[in-house]
Chains A and B, each alone.
Chain A
């Protein structure tokens, strides 16, 4: 099939180059054709690529593409081609990060199990504070706007390093707790939660000497542990809650260890955290035997860290 699409593109190149009404008409026909192909097979790499190739010529409406891909994602909300296409069009349009974030919120609230939407949030959140709170001012020079857009595109694309703001993380912890209290055995929210914990840890890692950051992290971990314990009271059999608890205890062990004497915590506290983390991982070996190898590894990491 890919060769047939190649032949079409060869024929279209001169038409698109010519421009004008004929080019716009030809582009519209290609979009109709790829839509028919995608309706038959939403996972066709070559049909999606052909559509991107046509759209890249900027002969047709981009807003219409967003509407179309929303309809496709309503029908198949985990289709990664559809999500990739949305990001492609959003980048071409210079779509505000806030609007994309709102879209993922809608998809998540419709279905907490939409891992694709949680994934996209992880790409968008680090961009939130790099975007102006108000629409670009009229005197914003084109080059400055282009530069900002390039930065947003590259970050949306996966550049790492930007810290997610504390207040943003608080909102995210709240959203994801709704997900795991609603569906405790769905992986999607829990994997996202683990990433959020990593984001919280990153603030401390960025300022390892800061007692304020360390205390703030200890507070976040304590709150999350209390939340997971509440869930375990309601759902004692939740393996995912137990995994998260074990992971949290491991993190607390690290943070507690770093406090040393200065925070007034004796070595007894650290040792207790270490024992608790190791015991939590050991429990999981029995509860979730498929992953026993991983739990043994995590347990040995906890044990080594305590030495």
Chain B
């Protein structure tokens, strides 16, 4: 399901959505919905918050959210919230700040944010904040650019960025993710990877600090990860391409205003046109 979301959104950023058959795509997405209201990663799999968000994102992209029973899906999502404000990925209780993002974002798409305890969700995200201004997967977990994206975006949807995030500290930590290659890594002293061109960069954008990294150097790094014969983008130059890195590479380029690409929203990870059509609200910070 997430693979379909990455591919479909990439095509929208490229301005070629017609390359996928909308009716077929939507029918497949709906075939993955379970009686609980949640969506599975694929047919014959179990429902999970990760794929519920991906499914709703695809439906949003194709203006088909009216196909779901919003109250039913919202009840499934809100039912996964724990007393401490966290969200489990499914009934088996794995806790991760990725699921906080999936839950708040899904509820925002369904216009049912009131179904969850948003202040408790914010408190939990605050518990996941670290000494470097970043966020981890659970309380105590090390900062990671992927979790920084989910936590910053979740707080943005909750309207609580300004009360939880130290934007100067976190913005500095993210700026230090840019390595001499021009690419971004996800944690200190780790290798750069194209996927962080979205995760780290989107958070910087939401914090109003996109200028704190070198855009031309990052652009050159992402473009250098293209396979010029097969198409697609890989994690690092000369590696095999895949749809995951292709989407994150394009999304990063789009945030940087690369010519020929449709603009993407840093919080909702959908084209700005879609976010505007749906009138989705999120808090953004500026650099005072």
Contact = CB atoms under 8 A, between A and B. Distances in A.
Interface in A53-72: 53
Interface in B105-162: 127-132, 136-144
A6 B138 CA distance: 21
Q: Which has the most chain B C-beta neighbours within 10 Å: A80, A83, A87, A120? A: A80
B187 A293 contact: no
B142 A293 contact: no
A297 B131 contact: no
Contacts of B217: 290
B48 A2 contact: yes
B140 A84 contact: yes
Interface string B188-230: 1110000000000000000001011110010000000000000
Contacts of B94: 45, 49
Contacts of A113: 189
A49 B92 contact: yes
B139 to A, nearest CB: 3
A265 interface: no
A158 B92 contact: no
Contact of B130 (A5, A83, A119, A294): A119
A157 interface: yes
Contact of A80 (B46, B141, B178, B209): B141
A122 B48 contact: no
Contacts of B189: 78, 113, 115, 186-188
Interface string A174-202: 00000000000011100110010000000
Contacts of A160: 129
A301 B137 CA distance: 32
A156 interface: yes
Contacts, number: 116
Given A49-B92, A297-B287, A290 B144 contact: no
A294 B172 contact: yes
Contacts of A80: 136-137, 141-142, 144, 187
- Assign chain A's interface to a size class: 35 or more
A156 B190 contact: no
Contacts of A291: 175-176, 178, 212-214
Contacts of A195: 131-132
A187 B188 contact: yes
A123 B171 contact: no
A289 interface: yes
Given A53-B92, A78-B187, A293-B212, A122 B130 contact: yes
B173 to A, nearest CB: 7
A297 to B, nearest CB: 6
A53 B96 CA distance: 14
Contact of A158 (B128, B173, B209): B128
A119 B131 CA distance: 7
A122 B131 contact: yes
Given A191-B132, A290-B214, A156 B140 contact: yes
A254 interface: no
Q: Which has the most chain A C-beta neighbours within 10 Å: B40, B90, B137, B141? A: B141
In the A-B complex, the 10 residue pairs with the smallest Cβ-Cβ separation, listed nearest first, are: A157-B139, A122-B131, A293-B211, A290-B214, A187-B188, A158-B139, A195-B131, A294-B212, A49-B94, A3-B45
Given A119-B130, A192-B131, A297-B168, 7 more contacts: A3-B40, A80-B137, A83-B142, A113-B189, A119-B143, A158-B129, A195-B132
